[in-house]
Amino acid sequence: MNIRHPESAALGESIPERLARLRGAMARAGLAACLVPTADPHLSEYPPERWQGRQWLSGFDGSAGLLIVTADFAGLWTDSRYWEQAETQLAGSGVQLMKLMAGGQSQAHVDWLAQTLPAGAAVGVDGAVLGVAAARALADGLAPRGIALRTDVDLLDEIWPARPALPDVAVFEHAVPHAGDTRAEKLAQVRRAMQEKGAQWHFVSTLDDLAWLTNLRGADVTYNPVFVAHALIGLDGASLFIGDGKVPQETVDALARDGIRVEPYRNAAAALAALPAGSTLLVDPRRITYGSLQAVPASVKVVEAVNPSTFAKSRKTASEAEHVRATMEQDGAALAEFFAWFESALAKGEKLTELTVDERLTAARARRPGFVSLSFSTIAGFNANGAMPHYRATEASHATIEGNGLLLIDSGGQYVSGTTDITRVVPVGAVSDEQKRDFTIVLKAMMALSRAHFPRGIRSPMLDAIARAPIWEAGLDYGHGTGHGVGYFLNVHEGPQVISHYAPAEPFTAMEEGMITSVEPGVYRPGKWGVRIENLVLNRAARETEFGSFLAFETLTLCPIDTRCIEVSLLREDERAWLNAYHETVRTRVSPHVTGDAKAWLETRTQPI
């Protein structure tokens, strides 16, 4: 069969037909291969529609993947989180799934190109959406084989007749009391870091950095309250390059008072090209594209380091942490309302599907003060669907929730006062002994890391083994990281910290006070069920000793963990005590925000074990 999407159907066009059009453009450009990453000029996790070329060409809509097309082959490289989804969505498309194994295979596509293409061939990729590190890896891998890398081609413009334009939704102020530090304070903080690096200029492309720096928010990227822009910061002024008409005049004036000029988005490259000879530019090679870096004159010295704003926004202020705590109470109340309804509907025998879960949970959050949007697409996976970590139910493919098993729900919200992300697993009908064992082992893993004390400055990937120890002890494992940073009314996935042994333990991943991180171990049995339990935690100072400063996690998320899924005999006494204390905290803090059935549900689900 040929895979067709709504736009394809309207044009009478299939994925193979689009690939054929791309191959024609490649032939005219003299390219043996075309590489289409999942990226935009800002290296966003979720690119705006204009830069979703990989999805448009392949039909695969997962959030991570790389497409390579040659004259007689098309392949999508993606990791184990998306294999089942990719196999379904790529069927009949002419695109082959290329499975990336966990750890150590980030350059597998480079090796494939080097081994497949003949000397003298050329590989084309749009440098405007190619990260600096990715460009260097391609060049290093291809040059020894006599294969050229061309980054001056954007074939999507030629072959995509209805390519979306730049987003044009207006930005808005993230106002007090929620905004925290002022723009002027944040700019001063960044400039101090620039001077420490000897830089007179700093170029920023990552959208959450820009939103944090300017105290502005937008709606250009699904689920993330950010806007498409670049910024060039000098020691005495700054320019924000953004689409025409996106900044209201009163905001233009307010930015000007803080020394920020609003300029057209298209002028960013020209501004880089006009930097004074002999000056020094600070860039983050992980957060800038190769195309942007190519615009910098050779006479300008480039210093590479992590964006100062990346560090600064990861360390939430005391006032931001207080707002997040209040947000968690509201989010917990929404979850209580949803689960009370869900259990009642299930008991009544109402027809429930995974789509129903998404619809009702979103509606519960939308009733809460300060709610703006979801923070990512809700994952509601029943039984076998829960074994796919990034599963998403659709109208065309979803499960009815009936019979016996486990329902996994991973969801979150964007509020003006914080960002939430939580995963819970609840029973449907009878739960088997093996399911209870898996659930309890995952719970032990989550508690082990949540209770940990660790030296300030420890590299966050090193903490991963604390959560995995109970899982490894049981002969189990999972193929994703244990935790990611979370923004403050910003991206639900934020750096620089990441708790994952798949990530390198580099100095910039150090754990510092104020960081918010997820803790989400799991166990997945393909074709059967999945278990993941996730809370958000805040790094807080724990104690000072002669051996240094130590941090501990404060659990922020406020929602019961379903004790009906626990095999209590597998828990130690201290683990039971932690769970009971957590449930008492949940009951105390969420109860004032709920009434009726939701309050009764909360009382029932937080009883001690």
Give residue-wise pLDDT tens across range 138-170: 999 999 999 999 999 999 999 998 899 999 999
Per-residue DSSP letter, 387: G
Q: Is residue 293 part of a domain?
A: yes
Same domain assignment for residues 321 and 308: no
> pLDDT at position 391, please?
87
Same domain assignment for residues 417 and 437: yes
Same domain assignment for residues 292 and 350: no
Location of structure tokens 């049995």: 525
Enter the tokens of residue 372. Answer: 């703006």
Q: Is residue 60 part of a domain?
A: yes
On the question of pLDDT at 103 being above 90, the answer is no
Q: Is residue 339 part of a domain?
A: yes
Q: Tell which of 269, 297, 313 closes a domain.
A: 313
On the question of pLDDT at 84 being above 90, the answer is no
> pLDDT at position 7, please?
40
> pLDDT at position 102, please?
62
Q: Are strands 33-37 and 66-70 parallel, antiparallel or unpaired?
A: antiparallel
The rounded percent of the chain whose pLDDT value lies above 90 is 90
Enter the tokens of residue 175. Answer: 């106002």
Same domain assignment for residues 404 and 497: yes
Looking at residues 586-602, what average pLDDT do you find?
98
CB atoms within 10 A of CB 180: 21
CB–CB of 385/482 below 8 Å?
Answer: no
> pLDDT at position 301, please?
98
Separation of alpha carbons 191 and 185, rounded Å:
10
User: How confident is the prediction for the chain on average, in pLDDT?
Assistant: 94
> pLDDT at position 4, please?
33
Number of structural domains found in the chain: 3
Who wins on pLDDT, 101 or 204?
204
> pLDDT at position 82, please?
82
Residue 61: closest CA among 377, 419, 358: 377
> pLDDT at position 9, please?
38
Task: Point out which residues pair with 419 in neighbouring strands.
Answer: 414
> pLDDT at position 413, please?
98
Q: Is residue 231 part of a domain?
A: yes
Same domain assignment for residues 216 and 80: no
Same domain assignment for residues 293 and 386: no
Q: Is residue 305 part of a domain?
A: yes
Same domain assignment for residues 433 and 576: yes
Same domain assignment for residues 548 and 574: yes
Same domain assignment for residues 148 and 178: no
* Burial of residue 396 (number of CB atoms within 10 Å: 0-12, 13-18, 19+): exposed
Looking at residues 22-46, what average pLDDT do you find?
95
Q: Are strands 535-545 and 122-124 parallel, antiparallel or unpaired?
A: unpaired
Q: Is residue 480 part of a domain?
A: yes
Give the helix/strand (H/E) hosting 427: strand 422-428
Separation of alpha carbons 307 and 193, rounded Å:
9
Per-residue DSSP letter, 508: G
Same domain assignment for residues 484 and 590: yes
Separation of alpha carbons 34 and 151, rounded Å:
10
Looking at residues 492-498, what average pLDDT do you find?
96
Residues, the chain: 609
- Give the rounded distance of the alpha carbon of 162 from its chain centre: 27
> pLDDT at position 8, please?
39
HEC states along 231-266? EEEECCCEEEEECCCCCCHHHHHHHHHCCEEEEEHH
Same domain assignment for residues 290 and 337: no
- Containing domain of residue 248, as a range? 172-313
Tell me which long-range contacts 380-385 makes (C-beta under 8 A, separation of at least 24). 380/354, 380/355, 380/407, 380/408, 380/409, 380/411, 381/354, 381/407, 381/408, 381/530, 382/354, 382/406, 382/407, 382/408, 382/428, 383/407, 383/528, 383/529, 384/526, 384/527, 384/528, 384/529, 385/354
Q: Is residue 38 part of a domain?
A: yes
Who wins on pLDDT, 142 or 176?
142
pLDDT in tens, 199-257: 999 999 999 999 999 999 999 998 999 999 999 999 999 999 999 999 999 999 999 99
Q: Tell which of 134, 159, 184 closes a domain.
A: 159
- Compute the C-alpha angle 541/547/550, nearest 5°: 15
Separation of alpha carbons 34 and 54, rounded Å:
11
pLDDT in tens, 414-436: 999 999 999 999 999 999 999 99
Separation of alpha carbons 541 and 241, rounded Å:
39
On the question of pLDDT at 45 being above 50, the answer is yes
Same domain assignment for residues 81 and 148: yes
* CATH code assigned at 578: 3.90.230.10
CB–CB of 485/515 below 8 Å?
Answer: yes
Q: Is residue 164 part of a domain?
A: no
> pLDDT at position 78, please?
93
Q: Given pLDDT bands bounded at 50, 70 and 90, which one contains residue 101?
A: confident
* CATH code assigned at 60: 3.40.350.10
